[in-house]
Amino acid sequence: MTHFTPDESMPTEERRNDLLILSRVSAAVSGLGDLDAVLKVGLDKTLEYMDGIQGGIMLLHENGRALKYRVARGLSTEYAEQMRLEVGEGLAGKVAQTGRAVLVDDISEEPGAARPHLIDMEGLRAFVSVPLRSRERILGVMNCASRVPHHFVRRDMLLLHSIGDQLGTAVDSARMYEKLNRSRRRYWRIARRLIVAQEEERERIARDLHDETSQVLTGLALKLQVLKEMCDLQNICDDRFRQVLDEAHASAKQINREVSRVITDLRPTLLSTMGLVPAIREHVESHLKPLGIEVSFDFQDIKPPPPPEAEISLFRWVQGAVGNIIKHSNAGHVRVSLRRTGDEMRLKVADDGRGFDVDLLQEGEEGQGTGLLIMKERLELVDGSCRIDSEPGRGTTVIARFPLK
Ligand SMILES: Nc1ncnc2c1ncn2[C@@H]1O[C@H](COP(=O)(O)OP(=O)(O)OP(=O)(O)O)[C@@H](O)[C@H]1O
Ligand SMILES: [Mg+2]
C-alpha cells in the first residue's frame, strides 16, 4: 500500500499535463451550486482523463461517521448501495479518517479491505482513494478502481489527490449554497405569510373601524348638529355654550374624516373599484397636498393592468414612498409617473427634498431602513423589483418595476 507524500518530483511535461487536467476539472465544477451536479461533473471529468477506470465519490454523513456513495460510474448499483463504511473501516474509511490518500496494486489481495465479497463481485483490482477536503475538514473520499492489477502509479495518486482538494472545496461551497437557498426559501415563505396576514389584519381593522367607530362618530356628529338646531329653535343664545357646541360638532366631523382616511389607507377601496391609477392619485393628493406639498402626475394607461395581488403590492409600495416623503424629505414638489417600457411597467415617485446617501443606508445598522426593505420585499414577492436614487441635497426618486407578461 502506498501513501501520498507531497514531495514527489515529476518531469515538467507530466506536471504541466496534470495541471491542465486539474484546471479543467476545477473549471468544470466551479460555479455549480447544486451538490449532485458538482459530484457528477467532478467525477465524470476526472474519469475522462483515466482510461477504463471506474470510480465513485463517497460522502461522510452529517453525523461525520458513516461513509456512503453519492455518485458512481462503472460500478454496479448493488456495489454502490452496499458499500457503506464507518470512518476508519476499510481503505476508504481510513482515508476519511486520516486524510491520507491510499494506492493499492490489487485490493482483492488487501487484508485491510472491507466487504471483500463486494470487491470480488465487482472484480476490482488496482485501487486509489483520495480525501475530499475543505477548510481542514474531510468531507468524503473519491475512489478510482481498475479491473486489472497494477494499473495506477504514484503520479495518478498525486493528481487525484489534488483533484480531491478541488472537489472538496466545490462540495463545501455547493452545500453552503444549498443551505443558503433553503434559508431563502424559508424566508420567502414566512415573508409571504406575513404579508397575507398583514393584509387580512388591515382588512379586519378597517371593517371594525367602519362598522363601529365610524358609525358612532357619525351618530355623534348628527346628535351635535341636532343639539345646535334645538338651541336655535329654543333661542338659547349663551355665546359660550354655543361656541363649545360648535367646536364639539367640528371635532366630531374632523375625527370622522380622519377615521375615514385611516380606513382608506388600510383598505384602499378605490383600488378594487377604479384600479391602481385613481387609488395612487387619491392617496398621494390626500396625504401630500394638505401639507403644502405640490403634486403632479404622469400616468400612462397600462392595458391589461397588473393582476390584483401585484396592484396591492404596488399600491402599498407607493404608500411607503409617500410615508417617507412626509417623514424625511422636506420636499416642495412630488411627481408620480407610471409608464410602460417594453414589457415592463415603471412606477416612479420623485421628490425634490433633502435626499440621503443610499450607500450609507445599505451599510447601516441592522433595523435601520426597514420601511424601504419591506417595500422592496413586497414587490419581489410578486416578481417586481425596485431601486432608490438619492443623494443628499438632490431629492429622492424611488422606482418600482413590474413585468407585464
Ligand atoms: N424621500 C426621502 N427623503 C429623504 N430621506 C429619505 C427618503 N426616503 C427614505 N429616506 C431615508 O432613508 C431612511 C430609511 O427609510 P425607511 O423607510 O427604510 O425607514 P424609516 O422611514 O426611517 O422607518 P420606517 O419606514 O421603518 O418607519 C430614512 O430614515 C431616511 O433617512
Ligand atoms: Mg419609512
For residue 346, the CA-to-ligand 2 centroid distance in Å is 21
Least distant ligand from the CA of 388: 1
254 confidence band (pLDDT: 50, 70, 90)? very high
Classify 74 as helix, strand or coil.
Answer: coil
Asked if 361 and 296 touch (Cβ cutoff 8 Å), the reply is: no
Cβ(403) to ligand 1 under 6 A? no
Go through the domains of the chain in sequence order and give each one's CATH number.
2-182 (3.30.450.40), 268-403 (3.30.565.10)
Rounded distance between C-alpha atoms, residue 185 and residue 126, angstroms: 45
pLDDT for 272: 84
Check whether 4 has a pLDDT greater than 60.
no
Nearest-atom number in ligand 1 for the CA of 395 is: 3
110 contacts: CB under 8 Å, gap ≥ 6:
1, 91, 104, 127
For residue 331, the CA-to-ligand 2 centroid distance in Å is 15
pLDDT in tens, 358-405: 988 765 566 567 889 889 988 998 899 999 999 999 999 999 999 987
Please state the pTM of the whole predicted model: 0.69
pLDDT in tens, 43-57: 999 998 887 799 999
Cβ(372) to ligand 1 under 6 A? yes
Beta strands 294-299 and 333-341 are parallel
- 3 pairs with which residues across the strands? 102
Classify 350 as helix, strand or coil.
Answer: strand
pLDDT for 9: 65
CB-proximal residues (5 Å) to ion ligand 2: 324, 371
Check whether 143 has a pLDDT greater than 70.
yes
pLDDT for 401: 96
Whose alpha carbon is nearest atom 6 of ligand 1? 328
Asked if 398 and 356 touch (Cβ cutoff 8 Å), the reply is: no
